[in-house]
């Protein structure tokens, strides 16, 4: 993973460094701590200048500093992972492979064909010297961040960067839409002294829509986020990229004559692991579940093995646990998504290598603790026993136990229970359950110093809650319980697996139940189609910036192209059944897969969003709505 940045000026009146913000440079270096370089291209006869800044987190093959430049003056910046589509050898670096392939492209169609073939997350910037062209874009789902900014008042400067900083009005950054690949004709722009963009949009190969219709839709959508002085045009050849996944199957099977949701109350008693077993007794259902396990297993395998490991671990089949470190971490709540990812990662992470389970909790308010009824207090004692079982807590002093109870949030409880399930599946694996405990004061401090700049340009209450929770979790600083002793621990893992994408595809959110009750399966299909269409702008750019800030790379197994195509091929009835209660009906196919993988109680845990499970949402105003603009993310935030 990398931090990439490019600044283009069409006027020689300003030095290009005038536009390179030192704060942005600092953010980019945090993303790519292993190498930082800059390169300036000046084309004096055309009066344009380009600054390229590359910051590398070394993960695969030989260390390859960026930006790359070849003998023909082409320049390449790459923030991505090639998991399939283009061959990358075990000892090769995918940045170098991509640059070599781009150099062989002789036409626009060749470049589009290359990017259409890629499988994996990416954003890139490519300067094609012979044609004075600047290409850039994000993958189909926007799994890697890329922001742009254009200011017409300062000599036509145009900026692209993986991460920005909170800006004053008039200089806002926007996320580059994951609508296709963009191209700037620098020669033409230098001549007119004005910027214009050309777009090559994504298109499903089997879509019935005409190319012209796709162009109109995408142009309208993308132009909304562009300043008025930056025109957007479609390429004259009407070339498109091939979408890497198949369209959603909207077939609605005739299962019963009941109206949506009518039998929910009648099957409340069915929320049990035995219910899942009854589903698996159907041979057809079991076959589909195993196909899903196979494709998701491959997605996880690619993401835990496409990683440089220490030389001594390559030559040792069974490394001793005393001197091995974790290379893979999982954002871990103990919920169904993270449990399945952890269980599959266990199948492929080398024997003897620990896996870090990153579990975040925010300090429970004292006043809330004091208001507990006797029943709630009894429940808390049960939860504390789950949080810190007697056999592992017998040596802890009272102060430490009390400290633990302050962080006994729902995700800590289910995380502890999930740890026991994973230990039962593979007791020989070292599972580092990292308890990441965050106080209100630390939350305020780090939000102002770091997190608000990473969430930006998003700005809602929901972005704040999720962004802060993920930042602290992925930082990986906390404690692990080692034979009854809490020891400080910082996760060294450079790869962080996250379960995002499961809820969006498998009807995991409460809004999906509301939609199903109102509009039935047809309405639910439309909602799920919209979920993936907007995931780039709602979630993925933000999460990439947040996790990347720690010099770590986010990897999303549920958003693997093969996984999405498999799930898109199934009718909705094969993936979820919202006539069944919470804990069973949503993400049904994933729960069945978990059961087949040997998981137990976690298979029937209802969905709980991270902002509620970690209790960060309880720290702020209860009157806030998730979609409200968050005052805490403003330049001068208002602290309560």
What gap in Å lies between CA 264 and CA 579, rounded to an integer? 5
What DSSP string describes 585-621?
STTHHHHHHHHHTT--GGGGPPP--HHHHS-GGGGS-
Cis bond leading into 457, ω under 30°? yes
What crossing angle do the helices spanning 283-305 and 588-596 adopt, rounded to 10°? 80
DSSP notation for 257-268: SPPTTTTTGGGG
Q: Is 2 labeled as catalytic in the residue annotation? A: yes
CA distances from 557 to 24, 298, 540 (A): 29, 9, 13
Classify strands 48-56 and 35-43 as parallel, antiparallel or unpaired.
antiparallel
**Alpha carbon distance 178, 186 (integer Å):** 22
Give me the sign of the Cα torsion angle 143, 109, 132, 58. positive
| Residues 269-273: contacts with CB under 8 Å, at least 24 apart | 270/580, 270/581, 270/584, 271/581, 271/582, 271/583, 271/584, 271/604, 272/604, 273/595, 273/600, 273/601, 273/603, 273/604
DSSP conformational letter for 108: H
Q: Please, which residues have CB within 8 angstroms of residue 118's CB and are 6 or more apart in sequence?
A: 80, 82, 85, 86, 139, 244
Tokens matching residue 399: 């102060």
Query: Are 54 and 65 spatial neighbours (Cβ–Cβ below 8 Å)?
Result: yes
Those residues with Cβ within 8 angstroms of residue 212's Cβ, 6 or more apart along the chain or in another chain: 238
Rounded to the nearest 5°, which phi and psi values hold at 565?
-65, -40
As a whole number of angstroms, the distance between CA 96 and CA 331 comes to 30
Task: For the sheet with 355-362, list strands across it.
Answer: 485-490, 477-482, 431-438, 355-362, 328-331, 495-497, 553-555
Decide the pairing of beta strands 2-9 and 48-56.
antiparallel
Give burial (CB, 10 Å; 0-12/13-18/19+) of 151.
middle
- Given 2, 6, 388, 515, the catalytic residue: 2
Over the Cα atoms of the chain, what is R_g? 25
Question: Which residue shows structure tokens 């996250």?
Answer: 498
Element (H, E) at 636: none
Q: Which sequence positions are flagged as catalytic?
A: 2
């Amino acid at each position: 993973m990398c931090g990439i940045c490019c600044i283009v000026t069409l006027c020689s009146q300003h030095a290009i460094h005038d536009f390179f913000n030192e704060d942005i440079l600092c953010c980019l270096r945090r993303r790519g701590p292993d190498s930082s370089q800059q390169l300036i291209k000046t084309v004096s006869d055309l009066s344009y200048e380009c600054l390229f800044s590359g910051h590398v987190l070394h993960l695969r093959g030989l260390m390859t500093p960026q930006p790359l430049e070849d003998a023909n003056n082409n320049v390449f910046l790459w923030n991505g992972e090639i998991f399939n589509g283009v061959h990358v050898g075990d000892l090769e670096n995918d940045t170098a492979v991509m640059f070599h392939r781009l150099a062989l492209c002789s036409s626009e169609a060749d470049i589009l064909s290359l990017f259409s073939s890629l499988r994996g997350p990416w954003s890139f910037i490519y300067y094609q010297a012979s044609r004075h062209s600047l290409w850039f874009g994000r993958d189909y789902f926007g799994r890697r961040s890329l922001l742009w900014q254009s200011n017409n008042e300062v000599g036509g400067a145009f900026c692209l960067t993986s991460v920005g900083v909170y800006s004053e009005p008039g200089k806002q950054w926007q996320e580059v839409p994951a609508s296709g690949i963009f191209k700037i004709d620098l020669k033409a722009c230098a001549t007119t002294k004005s910027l214009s963009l050309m777009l090559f949009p994504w298109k499903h190969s089997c879509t019935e829509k005409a190319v012209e219709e796709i162009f109109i839709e995408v142009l309208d959508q993308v132009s909304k986020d562009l300043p008025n002085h930056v025109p957007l045009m479609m390429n004259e050849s009407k070339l498109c990229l091939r979408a890497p996944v198949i369209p959603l199957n909207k077939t609605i099977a005739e299962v019963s004559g009941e109206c949506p949701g009518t039998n929910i109350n009648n099957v409340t008693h069915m929320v049990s692991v035995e219910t899942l077993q009854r589903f698996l007794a159907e041979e057809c259902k079991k076959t589909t579940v195993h196909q899903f396990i196979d494709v998701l297993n491959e997605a996880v395998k690619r993401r835990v093995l496409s990683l440089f490991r220490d030389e001594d671990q390559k030559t040792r089949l069974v490394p001793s646990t005393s001197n091995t470190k974790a290379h893979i971490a999982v954002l871990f709540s103990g919920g169904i998504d993270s449990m399945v990812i952890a269980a599959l990662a266990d199948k492929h992470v080398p024997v003897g290598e620990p896996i870090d389970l990153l579990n975040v909790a925010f300090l429970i308010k004292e006043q809330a603790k004091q208001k507990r009824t006797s029943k709630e207090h009894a429940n808390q004692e049960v939860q504390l026993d789950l949080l810190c079982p007697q056999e592992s807590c017998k040596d802890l002093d009272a102060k430490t136990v009390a400290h633990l109870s302050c962080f006994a949030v729902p995700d800590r409880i289910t995380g502890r229970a999930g740890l026991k399930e994973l230990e039962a599946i593979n007791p020989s694996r070292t599972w580092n359950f990292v308890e990441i405990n965050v106080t209100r004061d630390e939350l305020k401090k780090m939000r102002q110093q770091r997190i608000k700049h990473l969430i930006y340009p998003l700005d809602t209450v929901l972005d704040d809650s999720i962004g802060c929770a993920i930042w602290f979790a992925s930082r990986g600083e906390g404690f692990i319980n080692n034979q009854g002793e809490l020891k400080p621990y910082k996760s060294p893992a450079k790869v962080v697996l996250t379960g995002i994408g499961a809820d969006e595809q498998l009807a995991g959110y409460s809004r999906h139940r509301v939609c199903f009750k109102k509009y039935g399966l047809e309405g639910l299909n439309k909602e799920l189609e919209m979920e993936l269409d907007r995931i780039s702008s709602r979630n993925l750019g933000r999460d990439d910036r947040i996790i990347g800030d720690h010099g770590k790379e986010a990897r999303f197994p549920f958003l693997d192209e093969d996984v999405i195509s498999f799930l898109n091929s199934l009718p909705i009835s094969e993936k979820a059944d919202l006539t069944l209660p919470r804990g069973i009906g949503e993400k049904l196919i994933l729960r069945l897969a978990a059961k087949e993988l040997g998981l137990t109680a976690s298979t029937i845990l209802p969905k709980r969003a991270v902002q509620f499970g970690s209790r960060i949402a309880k720290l702020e105003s209860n009157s806030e709505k998730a979609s409200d603009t968050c005052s805490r993310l403003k330049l001068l935030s208002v602290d309560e």
